[in-house]
Amino acid sequence: MKFKVLISDPLSEEGILPLKEAENVEVVVATDLSPDELAKTIKDFDALLVRSQTKVTREIIRNASKLKIIGRAGVGVDNIDLDAATEHGVIVVNAPDGNTNSAAEHTMAMLMSLARKIPQAYFALKNQKWDRKSHVGVELKGKTLGVIGLGRIGAEVAARAQGQRMNIIAYDPFLTAEKAEKMGVDYGTVEDVVKKADFITVHTPLLKETKHLINKDTFKLMKDGVQIVNCARGGIIDEDALYEAIVTKKVAGAALDVFEEEPAVNHKLLELHEVIATPHLGASTVEAQENVAIDVSKDVLNFLTTGLARNPVNLPSVPKEIMRRIEPYFHLSEKLGIFLTNLTEGVIEEINIYYSGELAEVEVAPLTRNTIKGILKKHLGEHVNDVNASYMAEKKGITVNEQKTNTSKGFTNLLKVEVKTKEGTKSVAGTLLNGLGARIVQVDTYSVDLVPEGHLVFIRHKDQPGAIGRVGSTLADQQINIATMQVGRSNVGGEAIMLLTIDKHLDEQELEQLDQLADIYGVTAINL
């Protein structure tokens, strides 16, 4: 049987040789298909290979009745509808390492061009203007570079900038003091980074959490005359806020390789003299293109012939016999992870997962991976899935322990998850109640009974008459309905908790109002 592979973006000829030379594969290259044409063509293909240009929408995936795998020759998979792929049983693989070096080099090229106004000077000279006065730059040496997202590319950029004798301050949710010290970088929150930096470069994926991470409020915190680089994804920086910050001279310059909408030809930012730009060229080198095409071709070939993938991005299939017994717990395990990560302060160092009762008798590794996925998802988004969750945790320096115990506290099954950071230990436990579904039954030392669904608010407060009433009336003033409320306390007059289910997610302002109430120690909104 021959597998048909469609390549819909330009990939390196050398890189796709593993596929072209495979006897059981027929490769078709069609890089000028419209979305409609792609939606029609795809139905005959077993695999699709893309870069960032092809938008692999739900509609395309829906039409792809034979499609088994989508290979992304690069890192970002925000052009692929991962939910649709998962729902249709299509595995998505990427090539996460092949273009790291090129993207880091491009970032440095942009940083240096920005500091020395090279594109502007070149443009003037091409227009017959020998203008030295308007193109006075600044040195990088001794300046502080703020790096937001210290993953593969961010870390390479930091190391190169240190070579330019810059000081680095970074923020990454997985950056510990030990790692920062080893890399010779300072670290802090996003606020610390933007306040101290002379230049700021972002290297996060584009996720719900990182969309407009740099916005009008963040710009206000920055030094006057700061310069910004984005070679990661359009949308991490709010483009309207950046425009405003440049026009008002808060920001002296910006170097952009990526835009919220691409291709970005008539973009208002491109009209500004202070903005230099390239058309998403970070990975456009001979070497990177060859690397990513080879990696993804091999992975696609391997998957088509053996069913195994090295770099899967979405959910894999779980063996049927394991699935049948543990499937009912999948939902609970992920929700416990998400719940816990929202309560956790500090960098996660250890995750302990305890299985008891009937759960202690089954193979639970897929549940462990699913729980880790729930915990890491907040910061890694679609980059973490069941297959790579343990690997991701290990890569982030997190120790994961799985234990089967007999202490199920009267429940026929109990899944307890504990997370340790330098700030302390947090835990949550859940169970499946026969006929009633999943329940969260313990938060730290407090017993609760909560359906892990919807919009939750977790409040730590002093056990004092009036605290519950104040929360209730504040929510009533905000026209927010309380569906359920759980309360618990450690001792009379000591610390207590309220766990509410409400009808909508609290926005920043609403959270702030609750946080300001007397006797409240902390308020966390959690979306499950």
Ligand X SMILES: NC(=O)c1ccc[n+]([C@@H]2O[C@H](COP(=O)([O-])OP(=O)(O)OC[C@H]3O[C@@H](n4cnc5c(N)ncnc54)[C@H](O)[C@@H]3O)[C@@H](O)[C@H]2O)c1
Q: Which residues contact 526 (CB under 8 A, 6 or more apart)?
A: 338, 339, 342, 343, 455, 456, 457, 458
178 catalytic residue (yes or no): no
Residues in contact with ligand X, shown as a per-residue x/- string from 398 to 437 under the rule CB under 6 A: ----------------------------------------
The residue from 41, 86, 100, 431 that contacts ligand X (CB under 6 A) is 100
**Of 387, 396, 381, which Cα lies nearest the Cα of 369?**
387
Which range binds ligand X by CB under 6 A, 98-106, 179-187, 467-475, 498-506? 98-106
Q: H or E element: which one contains 224?
A: none
The answer to the question of residue 41 lying near ligand 3PG (CB under 6 A) is: no
Instruction: Please tell me the distance from the alpha carbon of residue 84 to that of residue 57, in angstroms, as a whole number.
Output: 8
Question: Interacting stretch for ligand X, rule CB under 6 A, among 21-29, 147-155, 428-436, 449-457?
Answer: 147-155
CB closer to ligand 3PG, 53 vs 490: 53
Give the C-alpha distances (Å, rounded to integers) separating 512 from 221, 364, 460, 476, 503: 20, 40, 14, 15, 18
Q: 51, 72, 233, 379: which is the annotated catalytic residue?
A: 233
- Window 50-69: residues binding ligand 3PG (CB under 6 A): 51-53
Contact between 148 and ligand X by CB under 6 A: the answer reads yes
Tell me which of ligand 3PG, ligand X, none is bound by residue 51, counting a contact when its beta carbon lies within the kind-specific cut-off of 5 to 8 angstroms.
ligand 3PG
Q: Look at residues 117, 135, 104, 144 and name the one whose alpha carbon lies nearest to residue 226.
A: 144
Position among 174, 199, 303, 329 found at the interface with ligand X (CB under 6 A): 174
Question: What is the footprint of ligand 3PG within residues 148-177 (CB under 6 A)?
Answer: none
497 binds, among ligand 3PG, ligand X, none (CB under 5 to 8 A by kind): none
H-run or E-run covering 513: helix 508-515
- The catalytic position among 87, 209, 260, 262 is 262
Which CB sits closer to ligand X, 103 or 480? Answer: 103
Among the listed ranges 22-30, 74-82, 85-93, 481-489, the one in contact with ligand 3PG (CB under 6 A) is: 74-82
Residue closest to ligand 3PG (Cβ): 74
Burial class (CB in 10 A: 0-12, 13-18, 19+), 505: middle
Does 180 contact ligand X by CB under 6 A? Answer: no
Q: Is the dihedral of CA 321, 324, 326, 327 positive or negative?
A: positive
Please report, in angstroms and rounded to a whole number, the separation of the first and last CA atoms in the chain: 44
Beta bridge partners of 144: 167
What's 305-358 look like in SS3?
A: HHCCCCCECCCCCCCHHHHHHHHHHHHHHHHHHHHHHHHCCCCCCEEEEEEEEH
Cα radius of gyration (the chain): 25
Q: Catalytic residue at 262?
A: yes
Q: Which two tokens stand for residue 441?
A: 């039954």
What residue type is assigned to position 526 of the chain?
I
Residue 379 binds which entry of ligand X, ligand 3PG, none, CB below 5-8 Å type-dependent: ligand X
The whole-angstrom separation of Cα 307 and Cα 96 is 20
Question: Residue 379 interacts with ligand 3PG (CB under 6 A)?
Answer: no
Which residue of 15, 18, 71, 76 would you call a contact of ligand 3PG, by CB under 6 A? Answer: 76
Q: What residues are labeled active site? A: 233, 262, 280
Chain residues binding ligand 3PG by CB under 6 A are 51-53, 73-76, 99, 280, 282-284
Chain residues binding ligand X by CB under 6 A are 75-76, 96, 99-100, 103, 148-154, 171-174, 203-206, 209-210, 213, 231-233, 257-258, 280, 282-283, 379-380, 383
